Amino acid sequence: MTGPERFATMVTCIDGRIQRPLDEWVRQRLGVEYLDTITEPGPESMLATTDERQLGVLLAKVAVSRRAHGSATLVIAGHADCAGNPVSADEHRDQLRRSLLRLTGRLPGTRILAVHAARCGERCWAPELVAETPGGPAVTHD
């Protein structure tokens, strides 16, 4: 097993346009070498509102990353112009905060970051940190 400094886990949208910008942002921000990626359409909406059974399926995937790769950080990432979750940027951020709070108690000892990538023009995405917890109480950013 490798140490947590080498791996992080990300739950993000299936949209291929956002994959590279988020991957680069997470690697730079966290200094990790590898990023285990779980995709869902509109993941922040799903995480904030899904039933316990569906949430359990997703958390089982996160557990594989934690167990096999020692990942101690989870990034929840949403983005503007999302076909799977066509809501306002403010609603995306609210769902990200609710997702982080919902997962905090279920993933003790895990640092969780909620990230939103806003559309900024042709082929440009600008990820921003919305909320973060080092495994304890959530810290929200406005």
pLDDT in tens, 48-81: 999 999 999 999 999 999 999 999 999 999 998 8
- Full-model pTM: 0.87
The residue whose two tokens read 């495994």 is 135
- Measured between alpha carbons, how far apart are the two ends of the chain, in Å? 37
Beta bridge partners of 111: 73
Q: How far is CA 111 from the centre of its chain?
A: 11
pLDDT of 107 over the 50 cut: yes
- Dihedral of CA 93/140/107/76: which sign? positive
129, burial (CB in 10 Å: exposed 0-12, middle 13-18, buried 19+):
middle
pLDDT at 133: 85
Phi-psi category of residue 42: left, alpha or beta, with phi > 0 → left and psi -120 to 50 → alpha: left
Query: What gap in Å lies between CA 57 and CA 67, rounded to an integer?
Result: 15
Query: In CATH, what number does 7-140 get?
Result: 3.40.1050.10
pLDDT in tens, 20-57: 888 998 999 999 999 999 999 999 999 999 999 999 99
